[in-house]
């Protein structure tokens, strides 16, 4: 039985590695793809920002559920949070494949943040760039952490699950919350 469990773990680990590399690579490649003759999906940013907010709420609710020993509720909330993150990713890719990227601080919406526009932003430009960069980097790092913690729970390795969740939870929560913050900061510049 122990060999079978180890074999199952190795299969999961292989898929975790593949998915953890594939998602950021595919997202980066799809950023370079522009769908011709497709109406821009400019309505998506507030929707996928809201999904990030919902994900953050689900994560906190799941934490409260497990602290109160409501295991089934915790599992369902976590599965829903994963589904929300996947839905976010699909919408995010669809938006960027059909719409030009918006520049933070591009007041006149010409697609260029001029020196004058940047000067008007002051320190908020650096705050935005820090939040955006940390959001992007941590969204890549959180993928294997979430997948590993999910697999450990599925295999009923709860002590190992708890060890990785100590890292996965705050990173995932940060990514979800900063997704909303990034949207709120850049939303005045959408055309």
Q: Quick one: average pLDDT of 106-117?
A: 87
Report the pLDDT value the prediction gives residue 101, as an integer from 0 to 100.
84
Report the pLDDT value the prediction gives residue 9, as an integer from 0 to 100.
78
Residue 66: band (very low, low, confident or very high) from pLDDT cuts 50, 70, 90: very high
Q: What predicted TM-score, i.e. pTM, was given to this entire model? A: 0.91
Tell me what the pLDDT averaged over the chain comes to.
92
Is residue 169 within 8 Å of 59, Cβ to Cβ?
yes
Q: Where are the domains of the chain?
A: 42-189
- CA end-to-end distance (rounded Å), the chain: 59
């Amino acid at each position: 039985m122990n060999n079978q469990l180890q074999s199952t773990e190795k299969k999961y680990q292989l898929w975790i590695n593949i998915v953890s590399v594939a998602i950021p690579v595919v997202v980066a490649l799809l950023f370079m793809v522009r769908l011709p003759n497709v109406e821009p999906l400019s309505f998506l940013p507030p929707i996928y920002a809201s999904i990030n907010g919902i994900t953050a709420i689900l994560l906190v609710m799941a934490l409260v559920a497990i602290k109160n020993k409501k295991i089934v509720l915790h599992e369902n909330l976590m599965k829903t949070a994963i589904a929300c993150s996947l839905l976010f990713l699909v919408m995010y890719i669809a938006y960027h494949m059909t719409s030009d990227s918006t520049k933070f601080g591009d007041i006149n919406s010409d697609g260029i943040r001029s020196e004058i526009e940047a000067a008007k932003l002051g320190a908020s430009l650096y705050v935005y760039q820090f939040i955006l960069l940390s959001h992007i980097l941590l969204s890549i790092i959180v993928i294997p952490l979430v997948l590993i913690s999910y697999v450990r729970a599925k295999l009923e390795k709860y002590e190992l699950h708890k060890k990785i969740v100590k890292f996965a939870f705050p990173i995932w929560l940060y990514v979800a919350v900063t997704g909303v913050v990034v949207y709120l900061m850049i939303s005045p510049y959408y055309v």
